[in-house]
Amino acid sequence: MKLEIAPGVVLWRGRIGRTAQEALLREVLCRVERAPFYRPTMPKSGAPFSVEETNFGSLGWVSDSNGYRYQPNHPVTRAPWPDIPPMLLALWTATTGYCAPPECCLVNLYRGTARMGLHQDRDEVATDAPVLSVSLGDEAQFRIGGSTRKGPSQSIMLSSGDVIAFGGPARLAFHGIERIRPGTSTLVPGGGRINLTLRRVRPPAASKKDARPGG
Ligand code: MD6
Ligand code: FE
């Protein structure tokens, strides 16, 4: 079921069925063996995140004392990130219709009381591309507001297999995960929730996006 929950925010409830969730999780976990979850830290305070993270794709999003940025290598192993699972590339094309593939798949692992504070996804240059997010495992309470930190917001429950996109007027909306509900899914070994967030970081080559003679 496709719902537009706010201008530019599209939610596909149950977009990925259980069997496909299991297949996707296998694709994720085999890449996590090569690119293990690690715990990022906040740029100013140095405080550890409550979520653990890794990435797939040519660019991974990282946070440490030097700030937020995209980089081609895992900060602990220094190896290039694994490729983005083909199932996710197909989902990106089918749902966003964007003219170029995502370059980053950020993987967030929530266990127990892990949460994610209100934030904007704004470290990308290509903000014309939507951000696409897939939920696997335990349910999570997701809060979404507008493009300022204050002002009205709504809270929605995200379940395993749900897919949400932020684009257009919502591309810079503040959002976060208030809490997960441990034990509400049997999908993730050891329990918890995995979120996969797909992003285009750099604008596609001008020739692809705006191919005009002489332009
Ligand atoms: C999460 N999601 O669901 C965190 N960002 O665990 C995000 O931060 C997010 O769901 C941009 C667009 C959609 C998202
Ligand atoms: Fe985000």
pLDDT in tens, 72-131: 999 999 999 999 999 999 999 999 999 999 999 999 999 999 999 999 999 999 999 999
Sheet containing 139-144: order of strands: 116-119, 175-181, 139-144, 154-158
Residue 214 has pLDDT above 80, yes or no: no
Q: In what helix (H) or strand (E) does residue 107 lie, and over which residues does it extend?
A: strand 104-110
pLDDT value, residue 173: 97
SS3 56: strand
Please provide the average confidence, as pLDDT, over all residues in the chain: 95
pLDDT value, residue 76: 98
Query: Could you read off the pLDDT of 30-55 as tens digits, one per residue?
Result: 999 999 999 999 999 999 999 999 99
**pTM (2 d.p.):** 0.95
Please state the rounded mean pLDDT for residues 57-84: 98
pLDDT value, residue 208: 52
Residue 11 has pLDDT above 60, yes or no: yes
Q: Determine the distance separating the centroid of ligand 1 and the alpha carbon of 211, expressed in angstroms.
A: 32
The dotted CATH code for 2-211 is 2.60.120.590
pLDDT value, residue 184: 98
Please report where in the chains the tokens 């999908």 appear, as a residue: 187
SS3 24: helix
Q: Determine the distance separating the centroid of ligand 1 and the alpha carbon of 133, expressed in angstroms.
A: 6
Closest listed residue to residue 119, CA positions, set 206, 66, 43: 43
DSSP 213: T
Q: Cα separations (Å) of 67 from 22, 44, 48, 109?
A: 34, 8, 13, 21
Helices (H), 35-181: 86-96
SS3 55: strand
52 lines ligand 1 (CB under 6 A): no
Q: Whose CA is nearest to atom 12 of ligand 1?
A: 131
195 lines ligand 1 (CB under 6 A): yes
Residue 21 backbone class (left: φ over 0; alpha: ψ -120 to 50; beta: rest): alpha
Among 63, 143, 175, which residue has the most ligand 1 atoms within 8 Å of its CB, making it the best to mutate?
175
* Rg of the chain over all Cα atoms, to the nearest angstrom: 17
